[in-house]
Amino acid sequence: MTTTGAIHGAAASAIDDIDARPGSTVSLLRTVIATYVRPLGGWIGTAALVRLLEDAGVPAPRTRTALVRVKAKGLLRSQTRDGVPGYAVVDEAHPMLVRAHQRIHHPRSMRTGDRWCLVSFSIPEELRDLRHQLRRRLRYIGCGTVNSALWIAPEYLAEEVGEVLAELGLTRHSSLFLADEVRSDLPLRDAVAGWWNFADLGTLHTEFLDRHAQEIRDRPRTIAPAAAFDLWVRALDRWRTIPYNDPGLPDELLPSDWPGLEATPLFFTVRDLVAPVAAEHVRAVTGRTTPLPQHFDECSQEARDVA
């Protein structure tokens, strides 16, 4: 395989989340792997993994089919430990899972006066497939489109933008700029509305609210561990792509009725109320204790303060 081909193959694995529709078997499987298998030392027995997916509403045959796909994508490999067949997270996937955890549980938000990151690229026609992949991935990590070859994001996304360019082998076809000021004939709020698709982003937040706000209000005062696991995995699966697509722009640049102001605190409420009980179920199934998400950090406290 050529160097470009190898890079392209690695990138295809890394962006599988883009193609895994929330609520699908592959998406739920990836959520369980990222949330529980990696913290369990990166390995889980096959029977335990299939059982956990069953408890999230996925029949065993569908889970086994999805396992074939995530293995092909380079996320898992078969590994037997102490005579127990199971799956291990491949070494190359750990950085991606760590980044995903940080993005979900430690969301960043741009403040008024923070700098912008701009990425400009000119990619030859013979690399048009990579150009397509670049645009998909820039959109997925929260970048906005000024024009087809100039994209914009908050400065804190600059490192991720650089990683995307490097993974696709496109650094020599691109340039990154950090800017203190963006000038436009339009007010900045109007210009930003043209760079990001707030309608689609808002729909992601609204769908999360529609599916889980009433559910969390109606939950029993004492919820069984298996029910908590089901609720938490489905909520996390619905949420986990949102912090990627949503760049975290300042409130004054967002639509006045922005649903993220309600959806973000709700996610942390669900996490703090349900994830500890869900961990009890995982311990019962696997016989091992998983560390909880960092509930009481500064980021989630800020989200609760908004509520």
Report if residue 188 sits inside a domain.
no
Last residue of a domain, one of 66, 100, 134: 100
The CATH number of the domain holding residue 27 is 1.10.10.10
Q: How many CB atoms lie within 10 A of CB 210?
A: 13
Does 58 lie in the same domain as 87?
yes
Single-letter residue type at 61: P
Single-letter residue type at 233: V
Backbone φ and ψ for 91, nearest 5 degrees, come out as -55, -40
pLDDT at site 170: 96
Last residue of a domain, one of 100, 125, 159: 100
Report if residue 259 sits inside a domain.
yes
Asked whether 240 and 26 are in contact (CB, 8 A), the reply is no
Q: What is the pLDDT of residues 128-148, one digit of tens each?
A: 999 999 999 999 999 999 999
Does 123 lie in the same domain as 95?
no
Does 236 lie in the same domain as 209?
yes
- Which region among 17-21, 84-88, 124-128, 237-241 has the lowest average model confidence (pLDDT)? 17-21
Q: What percent of the chain lies above the pLDDT cut of 90? A: 71
Whole-prediction pTM? 0.84
Does 125 lie in the same domain as 68?
no
The whole-number average pLDDT for the span 218-223 is 82
* Number of structural domains the chain divides into: 3
Residue 297 or residue 121, greater confidence: 121
Report if residue 140 sits inside a domain.
yes
The whole-number average pLDDT for the span 70-97 is 92
pLDDT band with cut points at 50, 70 and 90 for residue 9:
very low
pLDDT at site 11: 40
Does 120 lie in the same domain as 92?
no
pLDDT at site 18: 59
Q: Is the pLDDT of residue 111 over 80?
A: yes
Report if residue 110 sits inside a domain.
no
Q: Is the pLDDT of residue 46 over 50?
A: yes
Q: What angle do CA 149, 201, 120 make, to 5 degrees?
A: 15
pLDDT at site 40: 86
Does 133 lie in the same domain as 92?
no
pLDDT at site 215: 84
* Domain carrying residue 19: 3-100
pLDDT at site 12: 43
Q: CA–CA separation, 180 vs 301, rounded Å?
A: 28
Q: What is the mean pLDDT of the chain?
A: 87
pLDDT band with cut points at 50, 70 and 90 for residue 20:
low
Report if residue 21 sits inside a domain.
yes
pLDDT at site 292: 67
Report if residue 57 sits inside a domain.
yes
pLDDT at site 307: 32
Who contacts 232 (Cβ-Cβ below 8 Å, separation ≥6)? 270, 271, 274, 275, 278
Q: What is the pLDDT of residues 225-283, one digit of tens each?
A: 999 999 999 999 999 989 989 999 999 999 999 999 999 999 999 998 999 999 999 99
Q: What percent of the chain lies above the pLDDT cut of 70? A: 88
Q: What is the pLDDT of residues 23-35, one digit of tens each?
A: 899 999 999 999 9
Report if residue 190 sits inside a domain.
no
Asked whether 152 and 195 are in contact (CB, 8 A), the reply is yes
Report if residue 109 sits inside a domain.
no
Does 249 lie in the same domain as 301?
yes
